[in-house]
Structure 1
């Protein structure tokens, strides 16, 4: 199914993928996230991109390959979870098949995004909650792991911070955490975040880490790569099937007390998963990937509990053929209508001016980076504007001038006139660069 996206529909590289590659490349050059790379990518996600670049370089295929491994792990883990804790009466691989199909709903699910990596640890935390529900453990290991996995997920992808209240509500209301277990879970949750904070404190970048990762992503403009209603249309079929699956399970099957607790966990999980979407600052389908475990649980109930043969056959066709077909059709339509212009990296003739050079792009058209490398720390243009346009802060202006003087980007693409205004404020920069074209500055 994945091959149709890439070989038939020619799914494009997306802008976030290029951002992640550039961050990994700069970290591999000896720089530090947030201090030397202005962006809101999670610290652990940035670490993964750093390792990928060290080993494989700028390689889009590796992003897809590693994502495939992570997806298979999630599928195997969720299916084994349902079997181990008797979520359904039968030991079945239907949830695995359902989950694989759901991962092919959108082409950008199939890349190693922070959302995919973070959701993996949320799934692991969910597994620990399942163990508390079914086995009623008195030990503290699973309680601690619930928090640790939740904290790690937050360090991969900030919107997953919404699962802190999920762990609290689910732990107390469903899994029956005692006060001591609740406190232990909270300690486990904050451990990974504190360790990340300590690392950036040692790197003299703690304020940048706190601002760029925890706060700036909520106050800068949202990147509307894909319209919200376009994503809702994409998810309409699986959400409708999940609702139908919920009613099938509620009406046609008597469940045990443990299965009832598991259903409550999944319902609460789904509510918080939907809430996390509203914390994202990039409007894209892959931000919705966290919904997949809950959708898998409810849709699986259709094929496990429904006994009417004709209805079951129709629903099987609708799901196993309809869901991937919706994804393929959605991508084809978005490409043909030009709606992906602000999402895809469309490399054209004008972008070749930067091939093989160290450059800086101040604007949204980052395709100039596809065959080039980032110079200076200003990767995220919206976050960088707080520094580059802060003309009243002499410390910021001195820092900006020093960075341009030290790194000397060979080409600057000034799409928002930020550098033009900067030259007026720091005339010494005019000695370094000459204007060539409407928004291009070349190193003298």
Structure 2
């Protein structure tokens, strides 16, 4: 594990100290949400965004303790990654997934985490995926030990529900838990109901909290529905993501066939392979529920990739073949990630994903601002004013000119918070002024889309 920790430090260091990996737009959005919550506001009611309730809570706590600190996001992510690596490796050892006790899965997993620079931040996908991994561990215990107790059955559901409250696309693992629990782990009807109750419990508690905060409709709409019907944020095109993942996918397929053809396994190991295979299928489906097309959304695939790739090094016996695959994995995968980042930066493709801070963005430094558009770099050294953090979600309110209740609420919010600067890239505020003339008396236009408070 010390060696795995050193690998994490070295491989991550190359991203941030050598290649200068930038802050991403989602990271800045999470920081802004945490900052606004730390100022006494409530998610969904006072922050229009689709970040998961538990993820938002984590960002709130981080801001309370550390403020808007980019390094802390990386440090905490590193600790979560180490936990996942240690847990998965111990899981395979405890339940005899392979004949020998080995740290090969841990080494494989830490390398896979460096396929993309945005894997190394505390994203909702990383936090939610941790609880899916914990649920997988409970399913392993059911498979191997055939427990009659209800504790692990309940925890399977609870961990799955918590994961959904961190990152909505992980809701797809509810049918995974059902299918794998019944087909592979042999859940009885009572165990199935207990697991389902455990799954719904965290979601019900979040809903109850927002009911108390008088924000239940906003929670239901913004988190569960809105991001599935608005346009997807295409930060990175699908072709580039597939190029990035081509090598791990190829190694995973190789590992699957090596495990199938070159090794006779026990009944329990066969059940574990079925679990991981079903896990991988549902993990792929979860990607289609995401509303931001980015590499970090694929991070949930890593545990399954780890299991199958490890079989290459455990089951093959030819030294030359093993050494070849070792070079491909331990050098090839990080180099693919580094090269991908360099190419994205040099080609300008990263501008739609990363925060590219330029001279024009300095006009908002130290101010309370509102950006109505996609150029969130204006927020880097500024704070959010008003609740309209997610521009696409906010447009359903700001452009709803026929709803007088919405227009009255918008006017009251602008009147109360009075952003120092409004960046109106999509001419939303310009149309608002036409509908609500008193707003125009508060601001003076300077340039094509910039409004300053008088």
Shorter-normalised TM-score: what interval?
over 0.9
Q: Distance in 2 between matches of 1:318 and 1:407?
A: 55
1:309 Cα deviation from its structure 2 partner: 1.2
- What residue number does 2:418 align with? 408
Out of 264, 268, 276, the position equivalent to 2:274 is 264
Q: In the alignment, is residue 15 of structure 1 matched against residue 15 of structure 2? A: no
Structure 2: where are the runs of 5+ without partners?
A: 1-10
- Secondary structure in 1 aligned to 2:400? coil
Match of 1:141 among 144, 151, 171: 151
Tell me which residue corresponds to 1:376.
386
Q: Distance in 2 between matches of 1:104 and 1:384?
A: 34
> In the alignment, what sits opposite 1:111?
121
In structure 2, C-alpha distance between the alignment counterparts of 1:310 and 1:285, rounded to whole Å: 33
> Aligned pair 1:388/2:384, yes or no?
no
Alignment partners' CA distance in 1, 2:195 and 2:50: 26
Distance across 1 between alignment mates of 2:242 and 2:385 = 38
Structure 1 residue 279: Cα displacement: 0.3
Q: Please say if 1:199 is aligned against 2:192.
A: no
Deviations 1:225-267 (A, max 9, x none): 0011111110110111111001111111110000000000000
Once the two structures are overlaid, the 10-residue window that deviates more, 51-60 or 308-317, is: 308-317
| Residue number in structure 2 paired with 1:187 | 197
Which of 248, 252, 269 aligns to 2:262? It is: 252
Unmatched segments (≥5 aa) in structure 1 = none
Distance 1:370 1:252 in 2: 53
Where in structure 2 are the equivalents of 1:28-427 lying within 5 Å?
A: 28-427=38-437
SS at match of 1:204: coil
Q: CA deviation at 1:8?
A: 1.2
SS at match of 1:280: coil
| Per-residue CA distance 1:317-343 (angstroms, 9 max, x = gap) | 011100000000000001100111110
Shift of the alpha carbon at 1:308?
A: 1.1
User: What's the TM-score, normalizing by structure 1?
Assistant: 1.00
- The CA distance in 1 between the partners of 2:452 and 2:274, in whole Å, is 60
CA drift at 1:3 = 0.7
> Once structures 1 and 2 are overlaid, which stretch shifts more, 197-206 or 228-237?
228-237
**Structure 1 position 7, deviation (Å):** 1.2
Q: State the SS of the aligned residue for 1:321.
A: helix
Q: What is the rounded CA distance, in whole Å, between the counterparts of 2:339 and 2:321 in structure 1?
A: 25
The 2-side partners of 1:325 and 1:430 are apart by 53
Partner SS, residue 369 of structure 2 = strand
Structure 1 moving runs of 4+ over 3 Å: none
Separation (CA, whole Å) in 1 of partners of 2:293 and 2:144: 37
SS at match of 1:413: strand
Over residues 166-198 of structure 1, what are the superposed CA-to-partner deviations in whole Å (9 max), with x where a residue is unaligned? 000000000000000000000000000000000
* CA displacement at 1:434 relative to structure 2: 1.1
Residues 73-120 of structure 1 show CA distances to partners (whole Å, capped at 9, x for unaligned) of: 000000000000000000000000000000000000000000000000
Q: Distance in 1 between matches of 2:240 and 2:229?
A: 24
Q: Distance in 1 between matches of 2:364 and 2:113?
A: 36
SS state at 1:341 partner: helix
**SS at the partner of 2:349?**
coil
| 1:380 shift after superposition | 0.2
Report the 3-state secondary structure (helix = DSSP H, G, I; strand = E; otherwise coil) of the residue aligned with 1:346.
coil
Q: In the aligned structure 1, how far is the partner of 2:185 from the partner of 2:241?
A: 33
The secondary structure found in structure 1 opposite 2:351 is coil
- For normalisation by structure 2, the TM-score amounts to 0.98
SS in structure 1 opposite 2:22?
coil
The superposition leaves residues 370-406 of structure 1 with CA deviations (integer Å, 9 ceiling, x where unpaired) of 0000000000000000000000000000000000000
> What CA distance in whole angstroms lies between the structure 1 residues aligned with 2:355 and 2:337?
20
Q: Distance in 1 between matches of 2:301 and 2:429?
A: 41
Q: Aligned partners of 2:323, 2:17: CA distance in 1, in Å?
A: 30
